[in-house]
Amino acid sequence: MSRRKSESKNLVGLLSTSLQMRIKMDNFYNFYIVDPKELGRGRCAVVRKCIAKSTGQEYAAKFLKKRRRGQDCKAEISHEIAVLDLTKSSPRVVNLHEVYETANEIILVLEYAAGGEIFNLCVPEPNERIEENDIIRLIRQILEGLCCLHENNIVHLDLKPQNILLSSFSPLGDVKIVDFGMSRKIENAIELRQIIGTTEYLAPEILNYDPITTATDMWNLGVISYMLLTQESPFVGADNQETFLNISQLNVDYSEETFASISYLAKDFIQKLLVKNPEERPSAEACLSHSWLKQGEFILWCSPEESSCPSPMQEHTQCSEERNTKSVCNGTCGDRADKENIPEDSSTVSKRCRFDDSVPHPQDFTTDLVCYHMSVCTGPLN
Ligand SMILES: Nc1ncnc2c1ncn2[C@@H]1O[C@H](COP(=O)(O)OP(=O)(O)OP(=O)(O)O)[C@@H](O)[C@H]1O
């Protein structure tokens, strides 16, 4: 495929409306003191804490390169700004305070989420394990943010524990959804396909190049819920191929051992979302009415047999033991090679790479995906 053709494909679903938010050409550094220590980094950006000189208020400055790998990224950056502007009414989406432009970069001055990534709550560290009641509150807040996005026909497409931040960690604060770089507008007639996220969070429809809808985010919410409750990543395998296979075969561990201290309703919630057919997944709004999220202080710590709780997902709850492969959340960083474009601040310890630093390069990832597709067409993987 020619570069121009692939570039225009990537632009499908970007908001093209003129920006409401004024982009300032003033010198950003005249107005902010920037902490050299990174808050985080991704494929496209480095994020650093900064302090407004006039007020002393803390913010997170996201530095985005206008050109990457010889390609002009301004349309994508404008789209990210437009989405943040569109969703500014939602307290669950990070607030965009100001935007600056320099010769090479665009700087988004964002609300500072001091509590960091909820990824920290998804790893097996006993001191950081949180109560199911707290998880219920966080999931409700993520859903509120998703409702706002989906009402505006925006699908996030990169929902993962690294992109759900907290206003504070202790006490556990509120959810702030970040990183709309991969989000897209779902237009009536446009079928959105071929957008790729982080391996272990990919929905089956993305692997199959099927049309993408807001239901793709709902799959990701299922993965996030699973990770928060079990501290394990449901689909991650030894390599990308195994991960793709686990996703396509819906190979999830719902064993009693893994769900020992987790309520039946929580498991039911996950099982409603981790279904292959996107049309069968409940919407964000419908999820808010799920009994698990409806309960307040009181949680039913019981199995469906022991209780009189309704079992709305009876047909989805079969758990085949032989299909179970227990997968530990390893925080694989399939996008690490991209991040190496940006000079790394040595003080940053990326949570994404906490367990596994054997990172595939993007080209390996693409090869894996191609191999996966070939094996689906031609027979099982060896
Ligand atoms: N407002 C914020 N407050 C605190 N930390 C932040 C904030 N925004 C981003 N971060 C940190 O920086 C990291 C990278 O930010 P972000 O995901 O927006 O970058 P990106 O380059 O678009 O990422 P990706 O490669 O996933 O597309 C986040 O995972 C988070 O740890």
Cα–Cα distance between 50 and 63 in angstroms, integer? 12
Whose CA is closest to atom 17 on ligand 1? 179
Which band of pLDDT confidence, cut at 50, 70 and 90, is reported for residue 127? low
Please identify, by atom number, the ligand 1 atom nearest to the C-alpha of residue 43: 25
Please identify, by atom number, the ligand 1 atom nearest to the C-alpha of residue 163: 29
For the domain bounded by 3-111, which CATH number is listed? 3.30.200.20
Cα–Cα distance between 111 and 154 in angstroms, integer? 21
Q: Give, for ligand 1, the residue of 58, 179, 201, 220 to mutate: max count of ligand atoms closer than 8 Å to Cβ.
A: 179
Cα–Cα distance between 220 and 92 in angstroms, integer? 17
Q: Please say if the pLDDT value at position 322 is more than 50.
A: no
Whose CA is closest to atom 16 on ligand 1? 179
Q: Please say if the pLDDT value at position 132 is more than 70.
A: yes
Residue-wise pLDDT for 152-186, tens only, equals 999 999 999 999 999 999 999 999 999 999 999 98
In sequence order, which residues have a C-beta less than 8 Å from that of residue 271 and are 6 or more positions away? 254, 313, 316, 317
Query: Cis bond leading into 362, ω under 30°?
Result: no
Q: Which range has the worst mean pLDDT, 10-19, 120-129, 197-206?
A: 10-19
For the domain bounded by 116-364, which CATH number is listed? 1.10.510.10
Could you tell me if the CB of 184 is within 6 A of ligand 1?
no
CB 107 within 8 Å of CB 63: yes
In sequence order, which residues have a C-beta less than 8 Å from that of residue 260 and are 6 or more positions away? none
List beta partners, residue 67.
72
The DSSP bridge pattern shows strands 96-101 and 23-24 to be parallel
CB 146 within 8 Å of CB 285: no
* Of 338 and 56, more confident: 56
List beta partners, residue 278.
none
Q: Which two tokens stand for residue 25?
A: 């050409």
- The three-class DSSP label of residue 289 is coil
Residue-wise pLDDT for 82-119, tens only, equals 999 999 999 999 999 999 999 999 999 999 999 999 99
Highest mean pLDDT of the ranges 208-212, 242-246, 330-334: 242-246
Average pLDDT over residues 35-60: 95
Q: Tell me the percentage of the chain whose pLDDT exceeds 90.
A: 60
Could you tell me if the CB of 110 is within 6 A of ligand 1?
yes
Q: Residue 2 C-alpha to ligand 1 middle, in angstroms?
A: 31
The DSSP bridge pattern shows strands 164-166 and 116-117 to be antiparallel
Whose CA is closest to atom 11 on ligand 1? 40
Could you tell me if the CB of 41 is within 6 A of ligand 1?
yes
pLDDT of residue 296: 62
Q: Residue 301 C-alpha to ligand 1 middle, in angstroms?
A: 36
Highest mean pLDDT of the ranges 64-68, 164-168, 368-372: 164-168
Q: Which range has the worst mean pLDDT, 77-91, 145-159, 313-327?
A: 313-327
Segments making up each domain of the chain, as ranges = 3-111, 116-364
Amino acid in the structure at residue 237: G
Q: Please say if the pLDDT value at position 195 is more than 50.
A: yes
Q: List Cα–Cα distances, 223 to 121, 143, 170, 329, 365, in angstroms.
A: 14, 14, 24, 11, 20
Query: Taking CA 201 as the corner, what is the angle to CA 199 and CA 203, rounded to the nearest 5 degrees?
Result: 100
Could you tell me if the CB of 113 is within 6 A of ligand 1?
yes
Cα–Cα distance between 179 and 201 in angstroms, integer? 15
Q: Tell me the percentage of the chain whose pLDDT exceeds 70.
A: 69
pLDDT of residue 18: 65
* Of 194 and 212, more confident: 212
Cα–Cα distance between 143 and 130 in angstroms, integer? 19
This model of the complex carries an ipTM of: 0.97
Which band of pLDDT confidence, cut at 50, 70 and 90, is reported for residue 126? low
In sequence order, which residues have a C-beta less than 8 Å from that of residue 28 and are 6 or more positions away? 61, 100, 102, 107
pLDDT of residue 193: 61
- Whose tokens are 């601040």? That residue is 345
Q: Active-site positions?
A: 158
Q: Which range has the worst mean pLDDT, 125-134, 188-197, 215-224, 367-376?
A: 367-376
Q: Which two tokens stand for residue 145?
A: 């943010």
Average pLDDT over residues 257-266: 96
CB 44 within 8 Å of CB 68: yes
pLDDT of residue 118: 96
